[in-house]
């Protein structure tokens, strides 16, 4: 059953404004000039609502102007809204783990991590028309394991599906390097992840192969979330005795992959990890993680953070309204 629009917008704005004013607004610099007619909380709310509406920002703003003038009497032009959204990319990133904490995800029984592909363009177009620098590359991923041009996103979530943190790197980045940055920044957001210069790298998993670290930047530091001390369930892509020992010794993150399990334990491990498949499916199918129509790094950061924030806010609203947490498709219908 779809939630009424009044209930949806009021509850969404209330959560966003409360967390933003309490945790984010005091950290933002005070800028000269007149006070914006559209508040930051209103822009954040519209960015979240846009993720339910579709891929086109221009079409969504026309929809708001036509049907939602009573809720948002003052609106920005498409270019001004885009500038404000990019300016608030850091705020949306910080709100993702904050909403997860509001849900009660600070001390879950366990967390699950996995990588999901975020294509930015088809492979051929990405090679010919590079709109991004080292932050995007050619990699393989998705359900069909096909080649694509874009990024890879590491997502950590709780058994209820709330995203507690994330890290992003080029598409050809091994998931263990994303997990390295994610675990390091959870322990200390100012620290430098394991780069091989100050630590001894483990043996290469390929016979005669050489180590290949990240080919571009991994970001964002403020999106990794907070350390919880709970076990982390991962698949075989995160295996490695040296890596898991390093994560536990240096960051206090206990990563358990399924390669050490057998029989009933492996089945239990796979069953507990199914929630990450559901979360990634919601991000791809409902919130359009594939091809987010970003044309710059800050635009990409804003759009990705808005999708993860929409997921967490949807779960938060569902829990408060007594609905199943991941029933997001019918939470609001435009």
Do residue 157 and residue 241 come from a single domain? yes
Number of domains in the chain: 2
pLDDT in tens, 61-117: 999 999 999 999 998 999 999 999 999 999 999 999 999 998 875 567 899 999 999
Question: Which pLDDT does position 261 carry in this prediction?
Answer: 57
Question: Cβ-count burial of 138 within 10 angstroms (0-12 exposed, 13-18 middle, 19+ buried)?
Answer: middle
CA trace torsion 299, 301, 303, 307 (10° rounding): 180
Host H or E run for residue 30: none
- The gap from C-alpha 172 to its chain's centroid, in whole angstroms, comes to 18
Do residue 121 and residue 85 come from a single domain? no
Please name every residue paired with 165 in a beta bridge, in sequence order, or none if there are none.
Answer: 156
Do residue 187 and residue 82 come from a single domain? no
In a domain, 262, yes or no: yes
In a domain, 100, yes or no: no
Do residue 79 and residue 125 come from a single domain? no
Do residue 142 and residue 21 come from a single domain? no
Do residue 40 and residue 132 come from a single domain? no
In a domain, 312, yes or no: yes
Do residue 111 and residue 141 come from a single domain? yes
In a domain, 328, yes or no: no
Digit-by-digit pLDDT tens for the chain (334 residues) are: 678 888 899 999 999 999 999 999 998 887 777 778 899 999 999 999 999 987 788 899 999 999 999 999 998 999 999 999 999 999 999 999 999 998 875 567 899 999 999 999 877 665 666 678 888 989 887 666 788 899 999 999 999 999 999 999 999 998 999 999 999 999 999 988 875 554 555 555 555 555 567 888 999 999 999 888 889 999 988 988 888 998 999 999 999 887 655 566 778 888 889 999 999 999 999 999 999 988 889 999 999 999 999 999 999 999 988 999 999 988 876 5
In a domain, 334, yes or no: no
3-class secondary-structure state, position 240: coil
Do residue 185 and residue 276 come from a single domain? yes
Question: Which pLDDT does position 334 carry in this prediction?
Answer: 54
Do residue 135 and residue 74 come from a single domain? no
- Is-contact 184 191, C-beta < 8 A? yes
Question: Which pLDDT does position 240 carry in this prediction?
Answer: 83
73: domain range? 5-28+36-95+294-320
The whole-chain average pLDDT of the chain stands at 87
In a domain, 146, yes or no: yes
- For residues 248 and 254, give the distance between their C-alpha atoms in angstroms, rounded to a whole number: 5
Host H or E run for residue 317: helix 297-320
Do residue 258 and residue 162 come from a single domain? yes
In a domain, 241, yes or no: yes
Question: Which pLDDT does position 65 carry in this prediction?
Answer: 92
In a domain, 59, yes or no: yes
């Amino acid at each position: 059953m779809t939630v009424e629009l009044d209930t949806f917008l009021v509850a969404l704005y209330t959560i966003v404004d409360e967390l933003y004013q309490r945790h984010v607004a005091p950290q933002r610099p005070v800028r000269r000039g007149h006070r914006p007619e559209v508040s930051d909380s209103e822009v954040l709310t519209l960015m979240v609502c846009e993720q339910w509406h579709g891929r086109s920002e221009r079409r969504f703003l026309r929809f708001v102007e036509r049907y939602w003038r009573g809720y948002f009497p003052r609106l920005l032009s498409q270019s001004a809204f885009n500038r404000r959204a990019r300016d608030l990319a850091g705020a949306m990133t910080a709100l993702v783990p904050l909403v997860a904490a509001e849900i009660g995800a600070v001390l879950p029984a366990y967390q699950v991590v996995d990588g999901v592909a975020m294509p930015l363009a088809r492979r051929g177009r990405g090679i010919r028309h590079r709109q991004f620098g080292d932050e995007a590359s050619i990699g393989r991923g998705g359900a069909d394991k096909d080649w694509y041009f874009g990024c890879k996103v590491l997502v950590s979530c709780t058994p209820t599906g709330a995203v507690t943190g994330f890290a992003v790197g080029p598409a050809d980045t091994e998931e263990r390097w994303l997990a390295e940055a994610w675990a390091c920044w959870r322990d200390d957001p100012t620290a430098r992840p394991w780069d091989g210069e100050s630590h001894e790298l483990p043996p290469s998993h390929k016979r005669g192969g050489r180590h290949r670290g990240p080919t571009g930047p991994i970001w964002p530091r403020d999106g990794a979330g907070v350390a919880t001390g709970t076990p982390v369930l991962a698949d075989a892509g995160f295996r490695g005795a040296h890596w898991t020992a390093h994560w536990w010794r240096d960051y206090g993150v206990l990563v358990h992959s399924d390669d050490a399990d057998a029989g009933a334990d492996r089945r239990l491990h796979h069953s507990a990890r199914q929630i990450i498949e559901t979360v990634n499916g919601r991000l791809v199918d409902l919130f359009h993680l594939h091809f987010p129509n970003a044309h710059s790094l800050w635009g990409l950061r804003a759009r990705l953070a808005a999708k993860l924030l929409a997921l967490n806010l949807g779960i938060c609203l569902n829990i408060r309204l007594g609905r199943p947490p991941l029933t997001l498709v019918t939470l609001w219908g435009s």
